[in-house]
């Protein structure tokens, strides 16, 4: 079962709003009933192998926990896959554990996922029009423990781009995704994730950023194709159109989780990670 964009957006908001699985799945259950009148507690019990409707009803109303042997089938019952399924599993595990250290580790993983669910409504402002370089400067913070000085950034990008670095930092401060400590003169990150959305503003939109990335990949291909530090792949396959949204969501989830797993504040290089899936005709 593939989720629509509207359904996925609704589910993201539920996971951002609560630390408990019961209210989240209660909201998902009520919404599913609106669009699928025959969807019921009895149907979920049959699908998940839960012997008692009263037991499941008490879970949905926050009166008891769901036994761990039902977690996977229950999550699958709502069509949750990838990041959403992982987030649901983490919530169940957080509720179950009595170990503070384990709960802290689980929460860190959950917060990482939640950052990928958030949607920042503003695009970069018009003064950043076409300046995707600002995004590169932002990402380079990870090379210096997310606490670089201006001189370190200028040294990394080269003196020929010193003015570009100055301008990018000023713009990033202007939209409040980074800050500057007046005493140490070092920059720090205020927003962990920058999302681009198209708007009436003529700023740097998602479209601008993607177009630049594709153009840059063509340049990079010639330089890095034979290097062990790069990977280029293109595959043509025949598929059923009805399964394409499910496939794209699976790739999207895997890509985001893989990128979050390898991202580091102790980095020593920047990479560009592109994924391209599109019909040939």
pLDDT tens per residue, range 15-40: 998 999 999 999 999 998 888 888 89
Q: Does 154 lie in the same domain as 72?
A: no
Structure tokens at 1: 């079962």
Contact 181, 105 (CB under 8 A): no
Work out the average pLDDT over 81-95. Answer: 92
Among residues 75, 63, 96, 102, the alpha carbon closest in space to that of 15 is found at 75
Work out the average pLDDT over 48-63. Answer: 94
pLDDT of residue 179: 93
pLDDT of residue 139: 87
pLDDT of residue 119: 56
Q: Does 203 lie in the same domain as 151?
A: yes
The domain boundary, picked from 117, 149, 180, lies at 117
Residue 91 inside a domain? The answer is: yes
pLDDT tens per residue across span 93-150: 999 999 999 999 999 989 888 887 875 444 555 555 546 788 889 889 989 999 999 9
Residue 254 inside a domain? The answer is: yes
Q: Does 133 lie in the same domain as 113?
A: no
Question: Under 8 Å CB-to-CB from 145, ≥6 apart: which residues?
Answer: 265, 266
Given a cut of 90, is residue 42 above it in pLDDT?
yes
Phi, psi of 31 (to 5 degrees): -70, -40
- CATH number for the domain that contains residue 112: 1.10.260
Q: Does 79 lie in the same domain as 39?
A: yes
pLDDT of residue 122: 45
Residue 278 inside a domain? The answer is: no
CB atoms within 10 A of CB 122: 14
The domain boundary, picked from 57, 89, 117, lies at 117
pLDDT of residue 121: 40
The domain boundary, picked from 117, 143, 176, lies at 117
Q: Does 251 lie in the same domain as 138?
A: yes
The Cα–Cα gap between 44 and 73 comes to 9
In this structure, the chain runs to a length of 281
Q: Does 211 lie in the same domain as 236?
A: yes
pLDDT of residue 46: 93
Residue 268 inside a domain? The answer is: no
pLDDT of residue 38: 86
Number of domains in the chain: 2
Among residues 38, 84, 28, the alpha carbon closest in space to that of 60 is found at 28
Q: Does 224 lie in the same domain as 152?
A: yes
pLDDT of residue 64: 93
Greater confidence, 143 or 3? Answer: 143
For residue 59, name the pLDDT band (cuts at 50, 70, 90). very high
Q: Does 167 lie in the same domain as 113?
A: no
Q: Does 151 lie in the same domain as 237?
A: yes
For residue 171, name the pLDDT band (cuts at 50, 70, 90). confident
CB atoms within 10 A of CB 2: 16
Among residues 155, 20, 27, 168, the alpha carbon closest in space to that of 94 is found at 20
Residue 242 inside a domain? The answer is: yes
C-alpha distances (whole Å) from 1 to each of 4, 45, 73, 78, 90 are 10, 18, 14, 9, 22
Residue 40 inside a domain? The answer is: yes
Greater confidence, 199 or 109? Answer: 109
For residue 210, name the pLDDT band (cuts at 50, 70, 90). confident
Contact 74, 44 (CB under 8 A): yes
Q: Does 112 lie in the same domain as 191?
A: no
Residue 275 inside a domain? The answer is: no
For residue 204, name the pLDDT band (cuts at 50, 70, 90). low
Given a cut of 70, is residue 87 above it in pLDDT?
yes
Residue 174 inside a domain? The answer is: yes
Among residues 35, 36, 69, the alpha carbon closest in space to that of 55 is found at 69
Domain that holds residue 134: 126-262
For residue 258, name the pLDDT band (cuts at 50, 70, 90). confident
For residue 249, name the pLDDT band (cuts at 50, 70, 90). confident
Q: Does 27 lie in the same domain as 101?
A: yes
Among residues 275, 184, 233, 245, the alpha carbon closest in space to that of 4 is found at 245
C-alpha distances (whole Å) from 237 to each of 243, 244, 245 are 13, 11, 15
Q: Does 253 lie in the same domain as 131?
A: yes
Contact 131, 203 (CB under 8 A): no
Max mean pLDDT among 9-13, 32-36, 45-49 falls in 45-49
Percent of the chain with pLDDT over 70: 89
Given a cut of 60, is residue 200 above it in pLDDT?
no
The Cα–Cα gap between 63 and 57 comes to 9
pLDDT of residue 1: 57
């Amino acid at each position: 079962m593939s989720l629509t964009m509207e359904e996925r957006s609704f589910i993201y908001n539920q996971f951002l709003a609560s630390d408990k699985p019961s209210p989240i799945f209660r909201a998902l259950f009520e919404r599913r009933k609106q669009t699928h009148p025959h969807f019921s507690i009895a149907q979920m019990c049959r699908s998940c192998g839960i012997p008692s409707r009263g037991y499941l009803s008490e879970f949905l109303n926050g009166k008891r926990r769901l036994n761990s042997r039902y977690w996977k089938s229950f999550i699958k019952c709502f069509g949750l896959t990838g990041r959403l399924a992982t987030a649901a599993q983490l919530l169940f595990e957080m509720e179950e554990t009595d170990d503070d250290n384990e709960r802290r580790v689980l929460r860190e993983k959950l917060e990482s996922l939640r950052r990928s669910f958030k949607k920042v409504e503003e695009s970069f402002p018009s003064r950043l029009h076409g300046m995707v370089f600002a995004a590169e400067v932002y990402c380079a913070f990870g090379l210096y423990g997310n606490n670089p000085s201006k001189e370190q950034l200028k040294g990394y990008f080269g003196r020929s781009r010193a003015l570009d670095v100055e301008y990018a930092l000023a713009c990033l401060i202007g939209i409040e995704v980074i800050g500057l400590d007046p005493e140490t003169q070092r920059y720090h990150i205020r927003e962990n994730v920058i999302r681009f959305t198209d708007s009436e503003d003529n700023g740097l939109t998602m479209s601008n950023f993607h177009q630049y990335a594709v153009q840059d990949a063509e340049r990079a291909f010639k330089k890095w194709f034979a290097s062990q530090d790069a990977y280029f792949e293109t595959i043509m396959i025949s598929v059923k159109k009805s399964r394409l949204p499910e496939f794209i969501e699976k790739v999207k989830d895997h890509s985001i989780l893989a990128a979050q797993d390898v991202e580091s504040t102790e980095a020593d290089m920047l990479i560009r990670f592109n994924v391209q899936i599109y019909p040939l005709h």
